[in-house]
Structures are given as structure tokens and as C-alpha cells.
Amino acid sequence: MIRSQKFWIAVCAVIFAAGLAWSIILLTMSHGDKVTVTRDGVVLYTLDLSKEPDREFTVEYEGRKNVVEIKDGRIRVKEADCPDHVCVRTGWLTAKIPIVCLPNRLVIEYADSDLDAVAG
């Protein structure tokens, strides 16, 4: 390989690594500790995860339920009666990806998540 090819390969590798690192930072950072738990468009809970004790609670909708877990200042849907379990597989709430259970009409998101990715 000639020198210019090695240089451009190194430049591309650095740009790729920087982009990967930035993506990880954006996905894992939170926009505060306040979270809303909404069912069918109605806010059921507004929680401050920094003050909440580790616990579980159930949100019911038309005979189906979601078991929500708060642990170590994080929140997730631990169990669900929905057919696809997307809400369970989403895992812990991140700043950019809300937890959504469409069959049970449940949404868990950061309270200030109305900010877009550019402004946030």
C-alpha cells in the first residue's frame, strides 16, 4: 500500500470510531430524571427516578397488564400481557427511545422528551 492509502484508511477509521462513540453517548445519556407513564394519552404517573425507591407497579388496560420496574434510578417494563412484548424487549428507558406498548396503550418517556435530537 502506498502512504496516501494508509493515511485515508486511518482517517476513515478515526471518523468511524468518533461517530460510534458519539452514538453511544447520545443513546445512554438522560435528559433529567423525570419520567411520565402514560396510558391512552392520559398521564398516570410523573416520577422522579432520582428519588424513587426500587419497586414494581402494575399498569392495567382492558384486562391486560404491564409490570413496570424501577431499579437503581432506571425504569423498564419487566412483564407484559401483550402479544409481541416489544415493550419488554426495549429494556431500560434511554433518552432517545421511549418504551411503548401499543396493545396496552402504554408509553414511558422522559418528561422533557419533547425536545428533538438537535435541541436536546
Q: Same domain for 63 and 97?
A: yes
Q: Same domain for 57 and 78?
A: yes
Q: Is residue 41 part of a domain?
A: yes
Task: List the CATH number of the domain containing 97.
Answer: 2.60.320.10
Summarize pLDDT for 57-66 with one digit per residue, the tens: 999 998 999 9
Long-range contacts of 92-96 (CB under 8 A, 24+ apart): 93/35, 94/27, 94/28, 94/30, 95/26, 95/27, 95/28, 95/29, 95/30, 95/31, 95/120, 96/26, 96/27
Provide the whole-model pTM: 0.68
Q: Same domain for 49 and 22?
A: no
Q: Which domain holds residue 51?
A: 34-110
Cα angle 108-113-118, degrees, rounded to a multiple of 5: 145
Q: Same domain for 63 and 100?
A: yes
Look at residue 116 in the predicted model and tell me its pLDDT.
47
Asked if residues 35 and 111 have their Cβ atoms less than 8 Å apart, the reply is yes
Q: Is residue 117 part of a domain?
A: no
Q: Same domain for 40 and 26?
A: no
